[in-house]
Amino acid sequence: MSGIRGRNTKPEILVRSLLHREGFRFRLHARELPGKPDIVLPRYRAVIFVHGCFWHGHDCHLYRLPATRPGFWQDKIDRNRASDRWARDTLLAAGWRVAVVWECALRGVGADVGQVAQRLAVWLRSDEKETGIRK
């Protein structure tokens, strides 16, 4: 996976590169879909959200509530989580398949971007309605 795994590569761009290398073609940020998914694969009736662990309150080593204004941050993250649930539920009800790739699966010690690409490819070719990829 050399060439795309830079220290400063944004997780969303990394996932897009991995999918493209696997031969998948997609649209980006479809405003007409709930939650404005990061990646949309109409052929597979699937969407992929790439969530930053901090902004979406993921229970992993990358998430830590700031000591400054913790109430503000907790409220913000709680609203993000509620929005994520709404978008997921609405998309599933409309017949879309939903995947969430967490930042921790792509960064840090033990992250395996090759495995992320393989899991997404297998999921896209399956009939599973949803999946989540985390470390």
The predicted-structure confidence for 34-72, as pLDDT tens digits, reads as follows 999 999 999 999 999 999 999 999 989 888 889 999 999
Give domain limits for the chain: 11-133
The b/e string for 58-73 (b: 16+ C-beta within 10 A; e otherwise) is bebeebeeeeeeeeee
- CATH number belonging to domain 11-133: 3.40.960.10
Q: Which residues pair with 50 in a beta bridge?
A: 101
The reported pTM is 0.89
Q: What is the pLDDT of residues 111-128, one digit of tens each?
A: 888 899 999 999 999 999
